[in-house]
Amino acid sequence: MGFFKQTKGYEFGPVSASDDGEIQVYRLKKASRSGIWFESLRLLRDIILIISVFVLFGVFVAQPVVVDGESMVPELHEGERLLVNKLVYYDIQKFDWGHIERGDIVVFWYPQDPEKSFVKRVIGLPGELVEIQEGRVFINGRLLEEPYLSPDKNRSTLDYSGKRVDDHYYFVMGDNRDNSLDSRTWGLVPAKYIYGKAFFRYWRPSKVGVLHRGATKLEGTPEGMPEDAAPVSDDPVAGM
């Protein structure tokens, strides 16, 4: 009966990366510390990126503002929060949201004290003649229809002599005509002082939504025709 001779076992010794190119050796504690450090850097990078996006958005695109006062009643009330589109500052004529039009609600630095800001509605555009007779607004002698006004906030019958709006300026008024300090009192607003056009109300909850441009139309302008395409007169009392 034969016997198998027991062979001597091999001693492998310590494992080294040089033993085989496919072998990777990890020191668990060191790898763990490296992983935490790497993930922390990635998190910091993402936070910086998010903050940068918000800063750029606030500087160039939109900005929140708070309504102070009742000069824009019934459209806006004190304490409401708005987002304003700041792209109008760059006067991008190709897009509606990139430039100012009649009926827009704009936020601007008060010309007599640029540390304060006001919110009003654009009434007169550069080059136009603005006049008020018995509380009604006339542009180049034609009545401006303003359906956004509330009769109980527009009882004044005071007149305003004709004022030609200079280039790069706007004539603005509050919707609460009986209780608004605006271009009737302190004059025109330079275009460079207008830093935003209100486009969204995010507070109060019952009125959250998009703010559309006021539906204005000059008397005698056919539906669908631009206001500047209809014939106009510089006579402030034409048609009366």
Model confidence over 75-93: pLDDT tens digits? Answer: 999 999 999 999 887 778 7
Q: How far is CA 71 from each of CA 57, 59, 67, 234, rounded to the nearest angstrom?
A: 29, 27, 9, 29
Q: Quote the pLDDT of residue 28.
A: 56
Q: Quote the pLDDT of residue 48.
A: 72
Calculate the dihedral angle through the C-alpha atoms of 208, 213, 217, 223, rounding to the nearest 10 degrees: -90
Averaged pLDDT for residues 158-168: 93
Q: Which helix (H) or strand (E) holds 199?
A: strand 194-203
Q: Quote the pLDDT of residue 93.
A: 77
Model confidence over 34-72: pLDDT tens digits? Answer: 667 777 777 777 777 676 555 555 555 788 999 999 999
This prediction's pTM: 0.72
Contacts of 212 (CB under 8 A, 6+ apart): none
Q: Quote the pLDDT of residue 114.
A: 92
Task: For residue 229, name the pLDDT band (cuts at 50, 70, 90).
Answer: very low
Model confidence over 166-175: pLDDT tens digits? Answer: 999 999 999 9
Mean pLDDT of the chain: 81
- DSSP letter (8 states) at residue 77: -
Of the candidates 16, 32, 34, 71, the residue annotated as catalytic is: 71
Model confidence over 109-144: pLDDT tens digits? Answer: 999 999 999 999 999 999 999 999 999 999 999 999
CATH classification code of 61-229: 2.10.109.10
**71 part of the active site:** yes
Q: Quote the pLDDT of residue 47.
A: 77
Of the candidates 34, 117, 120, 207, the residue annotated as catalytic is: 120
Query: Domain limits of the chain?
Result: 27-58, 61-229
